[in-house]
């Protein structure tokens, strides 16, 4: 019998491996992984958080999860570069679909995201979330901290997101102050990379963009490893960490950011770190030239899976 081909997101009963697909056609799950909410035997569940009601400038990030899934199609074809292996031979990864959010009741959204994440984590899988605006990281952190205790946060971003917060507002620029004040994250072991705006640092190690450009990826990797050593690490990647030339499709772009090459080099240098979850957020397709922002986000998420697979 010939090998089955096409639409493996719906047709493939196996959690490992992959089928031949047309890059330009077929069902667009993340990396063509099987769509399911059955988490038996699953190592990582990928989910979308289609949120952008907390943005302070340009909206559109609610369309990010669909765009990142579409951009991931070509990554599903070949062995991972530069890793040289197929991560899906080592990891069982599924696409769990999107978190349902009722736009008519924004006050219910934080708990809806936390409950969604809590359900996945209770099934024993790690969680890879596709945003959506950056506020979604706060309820995701809450769910992860319930299982792991205070987390080391590794934040790639143009903005610290530690502006004043009243403990209630839905705002993509204040939630890490709230998380620090609530003890969800351990600021003594947390790192912000690529920052190029001012706000109170809250005790984080800050490796701002000019520092990264001067020091280079290798020294950045060393500083990150030193800071997070021995802690469970949650990685959040706001795509505006990248320079607008590499990621124009985002709500609050800031010149002077990291290149895609720098960001990927830093990510790939973090093998062995105890990552317990990741999100990539703030992809806003209405401003995305030729889909390059969604493509960068898909590569970053894919490389995080390769980091996990490299430990197997």
Q: What is the pLDDT of residue 2?
A: 60
**Cα dihedral 297, 178, 111, 147 sign:** positive
Q: What is the pLDDT of residue 1?
A: 46
**Residue 25: CB atoms within 10 Å:** 10
User: What is the Cα–Cα distance from 55 to 132, expressed in whole angstroms?
Assistant: 10
Residue 102 assigned as binding residue: no
Residue 134 assigned as binding residue: yes
pLDDT digits (tens, 9 = 90+) for 124-178: 999 999 999 999 999 999 999 999 999 999 999 999 999 999 999 998 989 999 9
Residue 95 assigned as binding residue: no
Determine contact, residues 154/232, Cβ cutoff 8 Å: no
Residue 168 assigned as binding residue: no
Reported residue count of the chain is: 312
Residue 238 assigned as binding residue: yes
**Residues of the chain whose pLDDT is less than 50?**
1
Determine contact, residues 182/143, Cβ cutoff 8 Å: no
Q: Between 3.40.800.10, 2.40.170.20, 3.20.20.370, 3.30.70.890, what CATH number should domain 8-309 receive?
A: 3.40.800.10
Q: What is the pLDDT of residue 311?
A: 87
Residue 157 assigned as binding residue: yes
């Amino acid at each position: 019998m010939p090998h089955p081909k096409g639409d493996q997101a719906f047709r493939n009963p196996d959690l490992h491996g992959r089928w031949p697909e047309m890059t330009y056609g077929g069902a667009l799950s993340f990396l063509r992984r099987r769509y399911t909410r059955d988490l038996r035997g699953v190592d990582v569940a990928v989910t979308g958080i289609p949120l952008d009601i907390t943005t302070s400038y340009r909206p559109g990030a609610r369309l990010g999860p669909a765009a990142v899934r579409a951009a991931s199609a070509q990554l599903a074809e070949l062995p991972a570069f530069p890793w040289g292996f197929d991560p899906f031979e080592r990891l069982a990864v599924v696409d769990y679909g999107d978190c349902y959010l009722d736009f008519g009741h924004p006050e219910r959204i934080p708990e809806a995201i936390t409950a969604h994440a809590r359900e996945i984590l209770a099934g024993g899988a790690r969680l890879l979330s596709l945003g959506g605006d950056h506020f979604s990281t706060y309820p995701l952190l809450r769910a992860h901290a319930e299982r792991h205790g205070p987390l080391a946060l590794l934040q790639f971003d143009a903005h610290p997101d530690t502006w004043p917060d009243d403990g209630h507002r839905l705002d993509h620029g204040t939630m890490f102050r709230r998380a620090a004040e609530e003890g969800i994250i351990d600021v003594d072991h947390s790192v912000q990379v690529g920052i190029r705006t001012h706000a109170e640092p809250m005790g984080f190690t800050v490796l701002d963009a000019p520092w990264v450009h001067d020091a280079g990826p290798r020294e950045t990797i060393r500083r990150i490893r030193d800071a997070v050593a021995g802690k469970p690490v949650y990685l959040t990647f706001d795509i505006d960490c990248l320079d607008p030339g590499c990621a124009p499709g985002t709500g609050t772009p800031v010149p002077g950011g990291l290149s895609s090459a720098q960001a990927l080099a830093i990510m790939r240098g973090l093998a062995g770190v105890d990552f317990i979850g990741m999100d990539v957020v703030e992809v806003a397709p209405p401003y995305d030239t030729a889909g390059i922002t969604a493509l960068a986000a898909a590569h970053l998420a894919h490389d995080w899976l390769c980091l996990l697979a490299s430990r197997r």
